[in-house]
A and B are shown apart, each in its own frame.
Chain A
Amino acid sequence: MAYDKFTVLSSTAVPLPIENVDTDQIIPARFLKATKREGFGDNLFRDWRYNPDNSPKEDFVLNNPLYRGKILVGGRNFGSGSSREHAAWAVYDCGFRCVVSSFFADIFKNNCLNVGVLPVQVSDIFAEEIFKAIYDDASTELVIDLAAQSITISSTNSQESFDINNYKKQNMLNGFDDIDYLQNIKEDIRIFAENTPL
């Protein structure tokens, strides 16, 4: 599914400085029974966010009115575990367009790129700076410029650049996706398949 173009995102951010956040926490398996991709946002971090009686857990960041925004800043090794794309859908559905971490699990990172959520990998030191800036002042904005491949903390002007492969970058800047690309080279694929026994 093609998604909105991603150019520059300036937003406050939601801090979640926990390491090894796995996709079972992002969206628990019991919520994977839908047959469409919308609506997962309500169950994002379900068991950290709500008590068994569905009342919100006050100490969880998504329930803290102080922290809002389109950017989620996670701890190291974010998104490990299951390949469920539902995790990326839930992040998107909850209004996030970017996840920042000092390290991402592979499949989650790929899934994000495929659904229009930009994964921005920063150094451990820069991640610390971001958490500090947000905790000092929750209205601090992060500015993510995809074309320039830079992330800036507005309150301190501290900046770092991030990696993204050029193909994925062009896709995100233009709102294209891989399926569009593959449809355009179907003839090559057909020839390849004919020479590749089942």
Chain B
Amino acid sequence: MSKTLFDKVWDSHVVRRIKDGPDVFFIDRHLIHEVTSPVAFLGLKSRDLDVMYPNRTFATADHNTPTLNQHLPVEDPLSAIQLKALEDNSNEYGISHWGLGHRNNGIVHVVGPENGITLPGATIVCGDSHTSTHGAFGAIAFGIGTSEVEMVLSAQCIMQTKPKRMRINVNGTLSKGVSPKDVGLYIIAQLTTSGATGYFAEYAGDVFQNMSMEGRMTVCNLSIEMGARGGMIAPDEKTFDYIEGRTMTPKGADWDKAMKYWETLKTDEGAEFDKEFNFNAGDIEPMITYGTNPGMGIGISKSIPTAESVEGGKATYDKSLAYMGYAEKEPMIGKKIDYVFVGSCTNGRIEDFRAFASIVKGKKKADGVTVWLVPGSHVVEAEIKKEGILNILNEAGFVLRQPGCSACLAMNDDKVPAGKYSVSTSNRNFEGRQGPGSRTLLASPLVAAAAAVTGVVTDPRTLIQ
């Protein structure tokens, strides 16, 4: 029988099916960080349970770490307690731990792939909704709550009802200045933030086949923003090239054996999806959001839509625009910007810094704009230096910070002040996401770069060199 990629991976991880209930779902690899794991360990202790397979869990510190002076003790006492708890718990149970300053440290969804934790056909979970990132390798990967973190620690399984299948096809060629982030934001704008709730998406078509692994990660990362549990892309030569030789990938005979399995990981001809969407690459332009959820995005040359033309109630829409200080029908181009943030598990990889540098090269940072450039990991940071990107950034008046989640969720000091506008390459523009009262415009690294050198929302296509 023809099967989808999703079905193949899911079904091979079901330990037990409960009638009228969820599947007992086996987790190959589990990532943890300092914010959503402490209570899970507390739960283990209170029930007197052990970690069943410590070698299947990997810890990294990222959510509340500072992005300057990481060699100094963490100043915020509450963050310091969480970081210490992660370290202590990892040590106590024999879990590998990449704390602040460790060369493998960085954002959980950046370091997972970098170290070969992320593999095709694997099931991967983490207490962070953007775990969907790892789907770029043909894994089933999704975010879980802390109770589920406790389940994985204690029994390597969670109880999940199998989501429905969705396929999103994007065919054609992306035009100049249109990046994977724009593809993601475009799809969310079409489907809305709840359009894929209850589904697991597969991305298919030329656009994804031609995309780099970094780009695929960006797209899969954003799956959760349309409500999907996760998104995945069938592995291909690019995938295998990326993972080969990384620390945690199989080696020698194990690699050959794994490859035999991985090569079967594609949706069979004729396999059925519960829902399918088709989009044309040519319809996508650089995107920007104007509201307070990631579905409120438009092509950068467009004007803010009227309430009647969008999904949802008018009251909610008005509230959102009022929060942003915007009005219906206003153009986005030319809007004043106070902050620019390049980073996060959505756009904190090397390709994103290359894109940013391609625009700012030979220009100067705009006066009055604060720019935070935060690599997703030390590996990314090192690559930025190695490729000479750091020089380009410095010459244009920018500084590079140290890795972490940073202003993606503003748990550390990188907070956008109330009322200020931030063009951000992260994934959420919710009210207060980047600091209480902050106003976020989600966009690609190219759009962020254009704003960083002009101080206003600018179409990057006018600046591409």
> Given the complex, which residues of B lie within 8 Å of A185, measured CB to CB?
15-16, 24
Taken together as a complex, chains A and B put the C-alpha atoms of A86 and B35 apart, in Å, by 10
Which of B29, B78, B147, B159 contacts A33 (CB under 8 A)?
B78
Q: Given known contacts A1-B46, A81-B129, A83-B128, is B161 in contact with A111 (CB within 8 Å)?
A: no
> Given the complex, which residues of B lie within 8 Å of A179, measured CB to CB?
43, 47, 49, 147, 150-151, 154-155
Taken together as a complex, chains A and B put the C-alpha atoms of A75 and B145 apart, in Å, by 22
Query: By the criterion CB–CB under 8 Å, are A36 and B39 in contact?
Result: yes
Query: By the criterion CB–CB under 8 Å, are B293 and A22 in contact?
Result: yes
> Given the complex, which residues of A lie within 8 Å of B26, measured CB to CB?
189, 192-193, 196
> Given A167-B159, A179-B147, list of 5 further CB < 8 A pairs?
A1-B46, A81-B428, A85-B146, A110-B145, A192-B26
Q: Given known contacts A166-B20, A193-B156, A197-B254, is B194 in contact with A28 (CB within 8 Å)?
A: no
Query: By the criterion CB–CB under 8 Å, are A198 and B56 in contact?
Result: yes
> Given the complex, which residues of A lie within 8 Å of B47, measured CB to CB?
179
Query: By the criterion CB–CB under 8 Å, are A103 and B155 in contact?
Result: no
Taken together as a complex, chains A and B put the C-alpha atoms of A24 and B433 apart, in Å, by 7
A-B contact pairs, 6 of them (CB 8 A): A88-B145, A166-B21, A179-B43, A183-B49, A185-B16, A198-B28
Taken together as a complex, chains A and B put the C-alpha atoms of A1 and B45 apart, in Å, by 11
Q: How far is the CB of A149 from chain B (nearest CB, A)?
A: 12
A-contact 0/1 string along B135-167, CB 8 Å cutoff: 000000001111110110011111101010000
- Is B205 located at the chain interface by the 8 A CB criterion? no
Which of B52, B53, B129, B258 contacts A83 (CB under 8 A)?
B129
Which of B312-320, B343-351, B449-457 participates in binding chain A?
A: B312-320
Q: How far is the CB of B199 from chain A (nearest CB, A)?
A: 9
Query: By the criterion CB–CB under 8 Å, are A35 and B82 in contact?
Result: yes
> Given the complex, which residues of B lie within 8 Å of A52, measured CB to CB?
418, 436-437
In the complex, chain B residues 156-182 whose Cβ is within 8 Å of any chain A Cβ? 156-159, 161, 163
In the complex, chain B residues 1-32 whose Cβ is within 8 Å of any chain A Cβ? 13, 15-16, 18-22, 24, 26, 28-29
In the complex, chain A residues 132-191 whose Cβ is within 8 Å of any chain B Cβ? 165-168, 177-179, 181-183, 185-186, 188-189
Q: Which residues on A are within 8 Å of B, measured CB to CB?
A: 1, 17-20, 22, 24-25, 28-30, 32-37, 47, 52, 75-77, 80-86, 88, 103-107, 110-111, 114-115, 165-168, 177-179, 181-183, 185-186, 188-189, 192-193, 196-198
Query: By the criterion CB–CB under 8 Å, are A165 and B161 in contact?
Result: yes
Query: By the criterion CB–CB under 8 Å, are B432 and A24 in contact?
Result: yes
Taken together as a complex, chains A and B put the C-alpha atoms of A177 and B437 apart, in Å, by 38
Query: By the criterion CB–CB under 8 Å, are A30 and B410 in contact?
Result: yes
Q: Given known contacts A105-B197, A196-B26, is B148 in contact with A114 (CB within 8 Å)?
A: yes
Query: By the criterion CB–CB under 8 Å, are B52 and A189 in contact?
Result: yes
Q: How far is the CB of A66 from chain B (nearest CB, A)?
A: 20
Taken together as a complex, chains A and B put the C-alpha atoms of A86 and B284 apart, in Å, by 37
Which of A19, A83, A104, A186 contacts B143 (CB under 8 A)?
A83
Query: By the criterion CB–CB under 8 Å, are A35 and B194 in contact?
Result: no
> Given the complex, which residues of B lie within 8 Å of A111, measured CB to CB?
145, 147
Query: By the criterion CB–CB under 8 Å, are A103 and B197 in contact?
Result: yes
- Is B278 located at the chain interface by the 8 A CB criterion? no
> Given the complex, which residues of B lie within 8 Å of A32, measured CB to CB?
35, 63, 411
Interface residue tally for chain B (C-beta within 8 Å):
79
Query: By the criterion CB–CB under 8 Å, are A178 and B143 in contact?
Result: no
Taken together as a complex, chains A and B put the C-alpha atoms of A81 and B222 apart, in Å, by 11
Considering the complex, give the chain B residue whose CB is closest to the CB of A184: B155
Taken together as a complex, chains A and B put the C-alpha atoms of A47 and B433 apart, in Å, by 11
Taken together as a complex, chains A and B put the C-alpha atoms of A182 and B151 apart, in Å, by 8
> Given the complex, which residues of A lie within 8 Å of B146, measured CB to CB?
37, 85-86
A-contact 0/1 string along B71-82, CB 8 Å cutoff: 000001011011
Q: Given known contacts A28-B432, A167-B20, A189-B52, is B35 in contact with A182 (CB within 8 Å)?
A: no
Q: How far is the CB of A190 from chain B (nearest CB, A)?
A: 8
Q: How far is the CB of B424 from chain A (nearest CB, A)?
A: 14
Query: By the criterion CB–CB under 8 Å, are B43 and A35 in contact?
Result: no
Considering the complex, give the chain A residue whose CB is closest to the CB of B258: A197
Q: Given known contacts A76-B312, A182-B157, is B39 in contact with A47 (CB within 8 Å)?
A: no
Q: How far is the CB of B16 from chain A (nearest CB, A)?
A: 6
Considering the complex, give the chain A residue whose CB is closest to the CB of B129: A83
- Is B90 located at the chain interface by the 8 A CB criterion? no
Q: How far is the CB of B198 from chain A (nearest CB, A)?
A: 7
- Is B380 located at the chain interface by the 8 A CB criterion? no
> Given the complex, which residues of A lie within 8 Å of B375, measured CB to CB?
none
In the complex, chain B residues 54-107 whose Cβ is within 8 Å of any chain A Cβ? 55-56, 63-64, 76, 78-79, 81-82, 85
Q: How far is the CB of A34 from chain B (nearest CB, A)?
A: 8
Taken together as a complex, chains A and B put the C-alpha atoms of A177 and B140 apart, in Å, by 24
- Is B127 located at the chain interface by the 8 A CB criterion? yes
Query: By the criterion CB–CB under 8 Å, are A183 and B154 in contact?
Result: yes
